[in-house]
């Protein structure tokens, strides 16, 4: 019987290498598809977060007849500038995104800043709120355990001024005879940069430091003002309310967290996804400043305090009617400024973004 058994044939080394190579090729073909599916899922979750925030904004407006403002007081007296760190508009939205217990713990009459108040055993600024985080972002750690937000209200097409010597006109050009009266690439509709001075920063309402509606372009401000729907004369479906941001690329949000108003004064003034993130797109890896000039994350406020995401090719925004749109980073700059400003009076076609 044993003499009739045929010996089993084993794989040769060449055959084994061929099988391994085929498996490697299959994995190589499948991996991009898997990554694309994951990216699509993250983008969908990010869109859903913005939809929740859009609904929260509508519900807040229904209760207060205005959108939530940054609870801070920016005035010319230098000794009162520390009030900028009062609760941000995101803190006011907590009861409207199923975070009522967290929101109810904030004592707005306390001398302790809301972000520093201990709620549930830790400071409010250390609480991670899932609705405020886009899963596509790398979620770099903030300083001292401060928590992330990837969404912020828009102050629109505002004059921002740079503290690092960045002339935005070298990036976006000038607006010609119709737009940008002083050809600095900012304040596209010339509403926000003209005298009188808000404070020592210069003429106009620079960075929306003062609560002047007529000199604030967008729906939110750095100061104690926010728009009502009646203030949005271009229509709620044509005006950006909030967009995606990256704290790592901004010298203010990175160390202020989602709770403090001073970290959340983002504008449409900068092009979408303009590189100020340390270690990305040629920007040096200096975590404090990033690059120089327009690529400086700490002081180039006209570029660093712009909307950015880690989605390929653009950012997602929620408009004042609650609708969510993905806007390409290649959008025409004038069109983008029209979407940022609430009362420019310009007509935007439906396929413009």
Per-residue pLDDT tens over the stretch 189-199: 999 998 888 88
pLDDT at 79 over 70: no
Beta-carbon-side half-sphere exposure of residue 339 (alpha carbons within 13 Å): 32
* Counts for the chain of helices (H) and strands (E), in that order: 7, 8
pLDDT in tens, 218-275: 999 998 899 999 999 999 999 999 999 999 899 889 888 899 999 999 999 999 999 9
Q: Which of these ranges, 164-168, 227-231, 287-291, has the smallest mean pLDDT? A: 287-291
Separation CA 72–CA 222 (nearest Å): 8
pLDDT tens across 328-345, in order?
A: 999 999 999 999 999 999
Angle at 255 between CA 327 and CA 95, to 5 degrees: 65
Q: Tokens 């102050």 — which residue?
A: 155
Residue 26 pLDDT exceeds 80: no
- The residue extents of the domains of the chain are 40-340
In sign, the C-alpha dihedral spanning 315, 318, 324, 328 is negative
Q: How confident is the model at residue 154 (pLDDT cuts 50, 70, 90)?
A: very high
**Coil vs helix vs strand at 244:** strand
Backbone phi, psi, residue 65, to 5°: 60, 25
The three-point CA angle 55-149-301 to 5° equals 110
Residue 166 pLDDT > 90? yes
142 touches 123 (CB < 8 A): no
Which tokens sit at 84? 């900028």
81: pLDDT confidence band, cut at 50, 70 and 90?
very low
Helices (H), the chain: 13-64, 89-93, 100-104, 169-172, 253-256, 301-304, 333-340
The answer to whether 156 touches 266, Cβ cutoff 8 Å, is: no
Radius of gyration of the chain (CA): 24
Q: Predicted confidence band at 32 (pLDDT cuts at 50, 70, 90)?
A: low
Report which DSSP code applies to 296: B
pLDDT band at 76, cuts 50/70/90?
Answer: very low
pTM for this model (two decimals): 0.87
**CA atoms 223, 226, 48, 42: torsion sign:** negative
- Residue 170 CB coordination number (10 Å): 12
Around Cβ 118, how many Cβ atoms within 10 Å?
11
Whether the bond between 31 and the residue before it is cis, its omega within 30 degrees of 0, is no
Q: What are 192's two structure tokens?
A: 């926000």
Q: In the predicted model, is pLDDT for residue 20 greater than 60? A: yes
């Amino acid at each position: 019987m044993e003499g009739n058994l045929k010996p089993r044939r084993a794989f040769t080394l060449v055959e084994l290498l061929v099988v391994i190579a085929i498996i490697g090729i299959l994995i190589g073909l499948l991996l991009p598809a898997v990554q694309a599916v994951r990216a699509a899922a993250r983008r969908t979750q990010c869109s859903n977060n913005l939809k929740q925030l859009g609904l929260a904004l509508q519900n807040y407006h229904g209760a207060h007849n205005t959108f939530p403002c940054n609870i801070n007081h920016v005035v010319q007296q230098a000794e009162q500038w520390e009030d900028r760190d009062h609760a941000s508009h995101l803190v006011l939205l907590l009861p409207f995104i199923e975070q009522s217990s967290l929101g109810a713990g904030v004592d707005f009459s306390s001398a302790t800043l809301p972000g520093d108040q201990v709620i549930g055993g830790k400071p409010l600024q250390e609480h991670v709120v899932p609705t405020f985080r886009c899963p596509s972002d790398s979620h770099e750690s903030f300083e001292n355990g401060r928590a992330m937000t990837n969404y912020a209200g828009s102050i629109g097409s505002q004059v921002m001024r740079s503290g690092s010597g960045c002339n935005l006109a070298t990036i976006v050009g000038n607006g010609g005879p119709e737009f940008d009266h002083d050809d600095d690439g900012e304040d596209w509709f010339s509403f926000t940069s003209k005298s009188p001075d808000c404070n020592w920063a210069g003429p106009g309402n620079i960075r929306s430091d003062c609560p002047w509606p007529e000199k604030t372009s967008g729906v939110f401000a750095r100061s104690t003002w926010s728009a009502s729907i009646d203030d949005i004369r271009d229509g709620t479906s044509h005006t950006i309310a909030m967009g995606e941001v990256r704290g790592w690329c901004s010298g203010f949000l990175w160390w202020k967290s989602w709770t403090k108003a001073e970290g959340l004064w983002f504008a449409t003034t900068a092009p979408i996804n303009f590189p100020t993130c340390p270690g990305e797109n040629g920007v040096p890896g200096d975590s404090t400043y990033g690059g120089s000039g327009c690529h400086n994350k700490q002081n180039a406020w006209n570029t660093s305090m712009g909307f950015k995401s880690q989605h390929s090719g653009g950012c997602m925004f929620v408009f004042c009617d609650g609708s969510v749109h993905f806007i390409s980073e290649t959008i025409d700059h004038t069109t983008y400024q029209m979407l940022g400003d609430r009362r420019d009076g310009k007509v935007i076609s439906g396929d413009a973004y």
